[in-house]
Copies of this chain bind each other. A is one copy, B any other.
Amino acid sequence: MASLTAGNRRPVRLADIAKAAGVSHGTASNVFSRPEIVREEVRERVRAAAEAMGYGGPDPKGRLLRAGKVNAIGVATAEPLSYFFDDPFARVMMAGISQACDATGAGISLVSAANNEQLAWNIQSALVDGFIVFCIEGGSRLVELARERKLPFVALDLDSEDGSVAAIGVDNIAGAGVAARHLTDLGHRRFAVMALPFADNRTGLVSAEQVRAATYAGTRDRLTGYFRELSRVGVDISKVPVYETANDVASTKAGLEIIFASDTPPTAILAMSDRIALVALDWLSARGLSVPDDVSIVGFDGVPEAAVSEPPLTTIAQPIAEMGRLAVRAILESNGPVSRHQLPVELIVRASSASPRD
C-alpha cells in the first residue's frame, strides 16, 4: 500500500497484454486505436487483461516514432523558463499562441534555458513539430540552433535580416517614426533614447559606430525610425543621448541617472519597450519629476500594464497576440515559401505625453 501511484518498474507493454489475452499484438493495438473493428468479445478480453496487468494504454513514446508527428510546438527563448510567465510581452504573446494551439489541438512545449549549453541541448532534444523563436536577447544564437534542427520554425520579431528564415514582426522603423512624430508634433526638441540591446551583454551610452555594428536589427531599426523623424524637424541627432539597456530595471535606472545628470536634460524620452518606459515612470516620479509636465515618455509594445500605469503610458502598440496566432499557423501549415509577415503598429496616446512646459 506504499507507492502505488508513482511508477515503480513498469515493463508492461502492449505485447505483454496481447500475449496474456491470447491475441496478436496487431489486434491488441486495434483495441486501443480502432476499437470498433475488433469483435466485442475479444475487445473485452484484451481490455480485461490490460486492466489486470496495470497497463496504462499505448505508450506515446512508442506511437510517436511511427506517427512522426508530436502534435506540439516548441516555444524557445534564451531566458529562464519563468520568463514566459513573468514578462508582460511574453505573456500576451503566449496567450495568442495558446489560442491558436487550442483551436488546432496542438500542445505547447516550453523550450528554454538561460544557460547556453543547456539551451542547445534542450533545442536539439525537444519533442516538437516546430519552433517559435522569441528573438530577444540571444536571438541570433537561438535562430541558429533552431535552424539546425531542420524543423519548421518562425522567428518573432523580424530581427533577422536573413530572408531565408520565416519571421513575424512589425515595421520597427515606421513604428518608431510614429512615436517620435507624436513627440515632435507636441513641440518637443530635447530627446533621449532608452534603447533595447544592440548587442549581447552590454549597456551604456551608445556610439554611432556601435549602432552600425548592432546584432539586433530590430533595435537598430527603431533607432533609425526615431532619428529619421527627429532629423526631419531639425534636431541634431548626434547630440541625442542613446542609452543601451538590458531591458531590465537596473540598467534602465542607471541610464536615466546618466541622462538626467546633464545640464540640459531631455523633455521627452523615447523608450524602445514599455518595460523600459514603465521603469522610467517609476524612476522619474521617485526623482520628483512629473510626467508629462516635466518629461514626456512614449513606450513601445503596447503591453496591458501600460494602460494602468501612473500615468497611463503613451505607446506604440504591436498586435502581440495576433503575432502569436500567426506564428502558430505558420508552423502548422508550414508549406510553400518562407513566410515573412510585417504587421502594422498603432500609436496609442495616453497621459504620459504632452507638450513641453516651456
A residues in contact (CB < 8 Å) with B: 2-7, 10, 54-57, 60-65, 68, 70-72, 80-82, 84-86, 91-92, 94-95, 98-99, 101-102, 105, 107-111, 113-114, 118, 121-122, 124-127, 147-153, 164-166, 334-338
**A151 to chain B: closest residue by CB:** B7
The answer to whether A3 and B335 touch across the interface, beta carbons within 8 angstroms, is yes
The answer to whether A80 and B102 touch across the interface, beta carbons within 8 angstroms, is yes
The answer to whether A64 and B63 touch across the interface, beta carbons within 8 angstroms, is no
The answer to whether B72 and A10 touch across the interface, beta carbons within 8 angstroms, is no
Measured in the bound complex, the distance between the Cα atoms of B125 and A57 in whole Å is 9
**A56 to chain B: closest residue by CB:** B150
**What are 18 A-B interface contacts by the 8 Å CB criterion?**
A3-B338, A7-B334, A54-B150, A56-B151, A60-B126, A61-B65, A64-B65, A72-B127, A80-B102, A82-B102, A84-B85, A102-B113, A105-B121, A107-B109, A107-B122, A107-B126, A110-B110, A127-B127
The answer to whether A57 and B107 touch across the interface, beta carbons within 8 angstroms, is no
The answer to whether A60 and B124 touch across the interface, beta carbons within 8 angstroms, is yes
Measured in the bound complex, the distance between the Cα atoms of B125 and A108 in whole Å is 13
Measured in the bound complex, the distance between the Cα atoms of B6 and A184 in whole Å is 44
The answer to whether B5 and A338 touch across the interface, beta carbons within 8 angstroms, is yes
The answer to whether B127 and A102 touch across the interface, beta carbons within 8 angstroms, is no
The answer to whether B124 and A98 touch across the interface, beta carbons within 8 angstroms, is no
The answer to whether B5 and A153 touch across the interface, beta carbons within 8 angstroms, is yes
Give the shortest distance, in Å, between A80 (CB) and chain B (any CB). 5
The answer to whether B98 and A85 touch across the interface, beta carbons within 8 angstroms, is yes
The answer to whether A149 and B56 touch across the interface, beta carbons within 8 angstroms, is yes
The answer to whether A98 and B122 touch across the interface, beta carbons within 8 angstroms, is no
Known: A107-B110, A147-B5, A165-B5. A98 touches B82 (CB 8 A): yes
Measured in the bound complex, the distance between the Cα atoms of B64 and A164 in whole Å is 30
The answer to whether A64 and B127 touch across the interface, beta carbons within 8 angstroms, is yes
Known: A61-B65, A105-B113. A152 touches B85 (CB 8 A): no
**A155 to chain B: closest residue by CB:** B5
Chain B residue numbers with a CB within 8 Å of A57 are 124, 148-149
Chain B residue numbers with a CB within 8 Å of A62 are 65
**A149 to chain B: closest residue by CB:** B56
**A100 to chain B: closest residue by CB:** B81
Known: A80-B102, A85-B95, A95-B82. A150 touches B7 (CB 8 A): yes
Known: A57-B124, A60-B124, A91-B85. A334 touches B6 (CB 8 A): yes
The answer to whether A338 and B84 touch across the interface, beta carbons within 8 angstroms, is no
**A55 to chain B: closest residue by CB:** B150
CB within 8 A of A82: which of B99, B164, B335, B336? B99
